[in-house]
């Protein structure tokens, strides 16, 4: 089950892109305009690596900092690859990372709290879907 935060305008997203100095993929932009992120219940996904993930939130452009894309981008400035955003979280304290760099574009699981035994300083970010649309499809099954 998904409870959206509500709609925002495409202009809000374009202003955000200007602020972060890169464009987000069209599938993600449409999701933001239509829902502005939201809260998930029982949204289990099973990527090959790192393992099952219980996704609890997809962030948007919100007043509440814990649900806001800007907050998480500022919180992890310097830790994230360029042209990437933390777009959601899981119940274990990890994050969903949207990367737009051409060679590494996709949705990653960022295990910054080392929930999985395979995570270490050298490797704690796992490609889980090649696009936001594929993540979204897996979440709404």
In tens digits, what is the pLDDT along the chain, a chain of 141 residues?
A: 899 999 999 999 999 999 999 999 999 999 999 999 999 999 999 887 777 899 999 999 998 888 999 999 999 988 888 899 999 999 888 999 999 998 999 999 988 776 676 766 777 788 999 999 999 999 976
How many domains, the chain?
Answer: 1
* The pLDDT of residue 81: 86
- So what's the pLDDT on residue 121? 73
Domain that holds residue 87: 2-139
**Count of residues for the chain?**
141
CB half-sphere exposure, 16, CA atoms < 13 A: 23
CATH code: domain of residue 31: 3.40.1580.10
pLDDT, position 8: 95
Burial class (CB in 10 A: 0-12, 13-18, 19+), 54: middle
């Amino acid at each position: 089950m998904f409870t959206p935060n509500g709609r925002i305008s495409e202009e809000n997203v374009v202003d955000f892109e200007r602020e972060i100095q890169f464009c987000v993929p069209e599938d993600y932009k449409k999701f933001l305009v239509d829902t502005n992120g939201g809260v998930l219940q029982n949204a289990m996904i099973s990527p090959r690596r790192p393992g099952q993930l219980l996704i609890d939130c997809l962030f948007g452009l919100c007043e509440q900092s814990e649900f806001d894309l800007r907050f998480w981008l500022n919180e992890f400035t310097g830790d994230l690859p360029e042209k990437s955003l933390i777009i959601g979280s899981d119940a274990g304290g990890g994050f969903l990372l949207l990367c737009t760099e051409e060679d590494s574009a996709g949705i990653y699981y960022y295990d910054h709290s080392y929930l999985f035994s395979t995570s270490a300083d050298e490797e704690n970010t796992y490609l889980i879907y090649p696009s936001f649309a594929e993540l979204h499809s897996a979440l709404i099954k």
